[in-house]
């Protein structure tokens, strides 16, 4: 099978059966923002805005480099943003403006 054929047959999330490292029994207590991110996903699901399969595909659509380098909930929030853009619920401008506003809020707090 050619290199490119393999890419089509095994999308980035489809890793069952691929060679991989020894299992390290890792775990961590979720950071507060990670738990909020999880709750956000569930609430969006309750409102039929974003379901589990869309979430999984959204993570896959980030591409293998981001899937490899971002942590689990970093992938989630990035995927949610893209999906919400695609659905026309948020715009990139909305998000940029709000992130700047929040960053400023924290900067003020830090200076005090």
**Where along the sequence are the contacts to other proteins (CB under 8 A)?**
13-31, 33, 35-40, 42-47, 49, 51-53, 56, 59, 67-74, 77-78, 80-81, 84, 89-90, 94-95, 98-99, 101-103, 106, 110
How many whole angstroms separate alpha carbon 82 and alpha carbon 58? 7
Closest approach, Cβ 5 to other proteins, in A, equals 20
| Contact status, residue 13 vs residue 67, Cβ threshold 8 Å | yes
Residues 6 or more apart whose CB falls under 8 angstroms from that of 58 comprise: 50, 79, 80, 82, 83
Closest approach, Cβ 18 to other proteins, in A, equals 4
Query: Position of tokens 């020894």?
Result: 22
Closest approach, Cβ 3 to other proteins, in A, equals 19
């Amino acid at each position: 099978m050619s290199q490119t054929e393999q890419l089509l047959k095994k999308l980035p999330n489809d890793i069952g059966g691929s060679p991989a490292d020894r299992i390290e029994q890792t775990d961590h207590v979720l950071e507060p923002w990670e738990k909020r991110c999880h709750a956000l996903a569930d609430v969006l699901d309750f409102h039929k805005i974003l379901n589990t399969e869309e979430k999984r595909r959204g993570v896959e659509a980030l591409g293998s480099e981001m899937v490899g380098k971002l942590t689990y909930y970093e992938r989630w929030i990035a995927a949610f943003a893209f999906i919400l853009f695609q659905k026309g619920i948020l715009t990139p401008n909305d998000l940029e403006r709000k992130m700047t506003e929040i960053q400023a809020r924290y900067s003020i707090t830090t200076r005090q």
